[in-house]
Amino acid sequence: MRTKCCLLALVLTATVSAAPATAGDREFNQIVERLSTAYGKKPMPFMGLISFAARFAQPEGVTGMKLAIFDGVDPSLSPDPADFDAFVERVAGPDYSPMVRVRSNRDREQTYVYVRDAKSGYEMLVLSLEPSEAVVVKMHLNPKAMEAWLDEPVNHGKDWAPPSPNR
């Protein structure tokens, strides 16, 4: 019984701590709400808990990660690519700079990556829409850690790779 109470307290604390309702997440929240309306469903449950856990197990230089995943959506409900492109541009506003905007008419996939200067680093907003799923990620990037990763991606990647049998 005591173990169950401790586990319940931990889950409640994590859920409350990870609630994505801060004003600084306006872009993330608006995009998730727009997709929820288009798909007629909410993102996968417990994404707040996963974002909370990511505080302790994330690549060096990444903080404040928010994640929303829509899985198993009806492809016919996907937002119109041209309308959604204009919506994302409007939500991102002039503070964000588009790094990547790709739309595949053949595969009906859309990918957006926006970056803006933020307190002590950068904020990155990533959207990936496929016919039956969508992912929205917002994170804060430490510029020194990202620079180190860009200089030595293989060595930094080894730190996060699962152990191989030869290690």
Q: How does pLDDT run along the chain (167 residues), one tens digit per residue?
A: 433 322 223 333 333 334 444 445 899 999 999 999 999 998 987 655 555 655 555 566 778 888 899 999 998 888 888 888 899 999 999 999 999 989 888 888 999 999 999 888 899 999 999 999 999 999 888 888 777 767 776 665 555 545 555 54
Query: What is the Cα–Cα distance from 122 to 144, expressed in whole angstroms?
Result: 11
Contacts of 36 (CB under 8 A, 6+ apart): 42, 43, 70
Distances (CA, A) of 104 to 20, 75, 130, 132, 164: 30, 14, 10, 14, 36
Decide: pTM greater than 0.85: no
Domains delineated in the chain: 22-159 (3.30.310)
Query: What is the Cα–Cα distance from 36 to 69, expressed in whole angstroms?
Result: 10
φ and ψ at residue 2, rounded to 5 degrees: -65, -40
| Residue whose pair of structure tokens reads 């929240």 in the numeric block | 29
